[in-house]
Amino acid sequence: MNIAFGKIIITPKNDGVNVPMAGYTRSFPAQGKLDDIYARGMLIEEEPPFEISNSSNSSKSIESLESPKRFLILSLDFLKVPLSISQYIKQKLTKVPEFKLKPENIMIHAIHTHSAPDLTGEFYWPGSFLNVFRGIMFGVNRNDRYIVYFTDRIIKMVRKMVLHLEPSQIAIVHQKITEDILINRRNPIRKSKKDLWILVCRSQQNGHITGILGHFPMHPTTLSFQNNKLSADYPGRFCAKIESTFNQKTHAIFITGAAGDLNPITTCGTDFDVLENDPKARLSVYEQLGTYEHTQKIGFLLAKKAINLANSIPKDQYYDSFTFQSHENKFPIYIQDKQPFVYNWGRWLQNKLFFYLKRAFLFPIATLHSKGRSPNFPGMMLERASLSIDFQHRLKVWTIIQFVKCQFFQKSNQSQREPLYILGIPGEVFEDLGKKLKQAVPQNTFKSKNILLFQNTNDWVAYLFELKDYLIQGGYEPIVSASPTCGTEILKAFKKLLFTATKTT
């Protein structure tokens, strides 16, 4: 297989001064940058299938049967990349003949830094949660020039990556992070501990490590709502530390896992019992006052773990041949409420109030100019049916899920490792739902527990949770989600996609 890595700066002009910042309801635009905003990429090329045929002089010659397939992972230092923008990027990439890319073989991931430039217009008016609603209703895309700019930069990066594809080997390892850097903000008592996964690539020619892809499920919110400068948060420091350690001869790329309810620990402390039971302490988990010092500390800690892991991999754990199958499905989620039981009257009334405010005012105005085609608000592919008897089915949001099977081999001894499965999920996945999505991959068919969930991939529609999180606990996350059923519907759609994938496995 051939592999290439790339990165390119996509920081807005003037270091982002006066650019609206996405992620919090800040009362100010950006006042510069703490570090640059990047697009990073990893391009893997299958070796094309070959056959041996006899020529006229009876000597054997090798002929390629088809052009090589390529799988591209893009990691962008944004809060989210909605479907309308990811489709635009894919369209531009697939139109370049020498890239030899198909839309279903491209994954576009947003690391979800809360110190990113706003792409959708919902943070155009700073100051309050109500202004975010205003941005959704009237936030016609105000960032077309910037979107065109960074897409052109991504094309430039990929062009360079195609030219620098080289024979490579890859190893996949993971390690539990035992340090207290992570907390489930809705269930602190869990004391959640997660694995850091890394994909390590090295040159077949000299054995040098050419790139490391890191994967960890934690919100990039080490910087608090008080921060007024652009930053890739801890994923940016993770990448920078790896690259500096290897004297800029090794690329790094970061992917955020199922981190919808998993926050970094900066200033809330680690007394998990108090954080679980004291309402004021619980609020401190949501409103931590982390600084760039915390950003560097956590990013560097994960980077050092990744470097030590990479340097400890035996040679016989590297594989030099690669095949993949990619499947995706675009489908609608209807904006509807699901409250079959009243667990708590106060929670029930709050849920009903916010749901009907969204249905009656927020989304109808956001789709005012859609006419059944495209929404007024570019952050979601909202669509309003012109005629519908069923009130529950007048509004829907289109989204996409992706499933990729990666198989690695060693040509020398014909051995293969367990497949790696990548789930591309369009939202912020809660810890419990993330487990269910992984468990949905049937072991009797796919025979591997090596499953990586990439959240905020190709789109963002909601926090993705089970209905019990909406019915029993409620809170901020269900309020801002397109529909409380998004998590359930995505789990159903993923199971259907797996059924399709089973036929070709």
CA distance 30 to 251: 28
Residue 495 contacts residue 440 (beta carbons within 8 Å): yes
Residue 389: the pLDDT is: 46
Report how far apart, in Å, the C-alpha atoms of 61 and of each of 47, 330, 411, 447 are: 17, 43, 19, 36
Residue 480: the pLDDT is: 84
Q: What are the tens digits of pLDDT across the range 67-123?
A: 679 999 999 999 999 999 999 999 999 999 999 999 999 999 999 999 999 998 889
Q: What are the tens digits of pLDDT across the range 354-412?
A: 888 887 778 877 776 555 455 667 788 887 765 554 455 578 889 999 999 999 988 87
Residue 212 contacts residue 254 (beta carbons within 8 Å): no
Q: Which tokens belong to 447?
A: 């025979």
Q: Which tokens belong to 424?
A: 């591309």
CA distance 121 to 142: 6
Query: In three state form, how does the secondary structure of 132-164 look?
Result: HHHHHHHCCCCCHHHHHHHHHHHHHHHHHHHHC
Q: Scan for tokens 């309801």, then name that residue.
A: 25
Residue 399 contacts residue 461 (beta carbons within 8 Å): yes
The pair phi, psi for residue 106, each rounded to 5°, is -120, 130
pTM of the model: 0.92
CA distance 333 to 385: 13
Cα radius of gyration (the chain)? 23
Instruction: Please report, as a single letter, which amino acid is at residue 503.
Output: K
Residue 358, sorted as left (phi over 0), alpha (psi -120 to 50) or beta, turns out to be: alpha
**Number of other residues whose CB lies within 10 A of the CB of residue 283:** 11
Q: Which tokens belong to 456?
A: 């905020």
Residue 443: the pLDDT is: 73
Q: Cα angle vertex 499, ends 432, 448, to 5°?
A: 60
Q: Which tokens belong to 137?
A: 């209703």
Residue 320 contacts residue 411 (beta carbons within 8 Å): yes
Residue 64: the pLDDT is: 41
> Coil, helix or strand for 97?
helix
168, 196, 198, 169: which is closest to 182 by C-alpha?
Answer: 196
Residue 399 contacts residue 483 (beta carbons within 8 Å): no
Q: Which residues of 393-431 are buried (b: 16+ CB within 10 A; e: fewer)?
A: ebbbbbbbbbbbbbbbbbeeeeeebebbbbbbbbbbbbb
**Number of other residues whose CB lies within 10 A of the CB of residue 267:** 13
CA distance 108 to 200: 20
Residues facing residue 176 across a β-bridge: 195
462, 492, 23: which is closest to 260 by C-alpha?
Answer: 462
Give pLDDT tens digits along the chain (505 positions). Answer: 999 999 999 999 999 999 999 999 898 999 999 999 999 999 999 975 433 334 444 333 333 445 679 999 999 999 999 999 999 999 999 999 999 999 999 999 999 999 999 998 889 888 787 888 888 887 667 788 999 999 999 999 999 999 999 999 999 999 999 999 999 999 999 999 999 999 999 999 999 999 999 999 999 999 999 999 999 999 999 999 999 999 999 999 999 999 999 999 999 999 999 999 999 999 999 999 999 999 999 999 999 999 999 999 999 899 999 999 999 999 999 888 876 666 677 777 888 888 888 877 788 777 765 554 556 677 888 877 655 544 555 788 899 999 999 999 888 777 777 889 999 999 999 999 999 999 998 776 666 778 999 999 999 999 999 988 888 888 888 888 888 899 999 999 999 999 888 876 5
Residue 335 contacts residue 463 (beta carbons within 8 Å): no
Residue 159: the pLDDT is: 97
How many residues can be counted in the chain?
505
> Which is it for strands 395-410 and 420-424: parallel, antiparallel or unpaired?
antiparallel
Q: What is the DSSP letter of 419?
A: P
Residue 500: the pLDDT is: 85
> Coil, helix or strand for 72?
strand
Report how far apart, in Å, the C-alpha atoms of 313 and of each of 245, 306, 319, 364 are: 17, 11, 12, 54
Instruction: Please report, as a single letter, which amino acid is at residue 381.
Output: M
CA distance 359 to 173: 45
Q: Scan for tokens 């650019």, then name that residue.
A: 19
Average pLDDT of the chain is 88
Instruction: Please report, as a single letter, which amino acid is at residue 215.
Output: H
Number of H helices, E strands in the chain: 14, 22
Instruction: Provide the CA 505 distance to its chain's centre, in angstroms.
Output: 25
